[in-house]
Amino acid sequence: MTPKETVKEILKRFLFIEILQGLALTLKRLFSHAVTIQYPKERRKIAPGFRGQHALAKNPEGKAKCVGCGLCSTVCPSQCISVTREKGKVSRYEIDVLRCIFCGFCMEVCPYGAVVLTENYEYSEYRKEDIYLTREKLLSNWDKFMAGKKGEEYFKRFWRPMSEDFGTPSGQAVWRGKH
């Protein structure tokens, strides 16, 4: 530390500069608009693409899109998805939400756009088993939070990558012979 810096430091300490700066900030905030809200009477606007409770998507005919390939459970870093297929059908699909870190990998990896993260963040319960997501609960979450245009819009904006995101790089080998 140079002598000039030492003097500056001593003055700062003796004149309580930092304390005064802190008090000035408090005083400034005292008359500004409060950022707290009176939940649950008031609610913040949810940002589009918010990662809340999961849902299993349905197609326009109302059938579950999930084919039980298991990619989501393979990629899940928390290992909280459990998928079972029996006789060519999905017999079980469960998510232990308490272990989920809401990374969104399950949604991104699904080749069928069959699992999504909805805007619902109000699902606290008293018992662990009530918070556990079964296939039935996940499908009903689709009807509650994502049905209709909302689901379509969600996939358009947040489901990536889509086919239009892929271009053919120059120099890419392309088969031009006869089939």
Q: Rule CB under 6 A: is residue 116 a binding residue for ligand SF4?
A: no
Smallest distance, Å, CB 50 to ligand SF4? 13
Q: In this structure, how many other beta carbons lie within 10 angstroms of the beta carbon of residue 8?
A: 13
Q: Which sign does the torsion angle of CA 54, 55, 56, 60 carry? A: negative
Smallest distance, Å, CB 92 to ligand SF4? 11
Smallest distance, Å, CB 148 to ligand SF4? 20
Contact residue for ligand SF4 among 53, 55, 58, 106 (CB under 6 A): 106
| CB of 108 closer than 8 Å to CB of 165 | no
User: Can you name the residues that pair with 92 across neighbouring β-strands?
Assistant: 84
Q: Rule CB under 6 A: is residue 131 a binding residue for ligand SF4?
A: no
Position of tokens 């949604």?
107
Of 119, 121, 116, the closest CA to residue 106 belongs to 116
Give the residues lining the site for ligand SF4 (CB under 6 A). Answer: 66-72, 76-78, 80-81, 83, 95, 100-106, 109-110, 112, 114-115
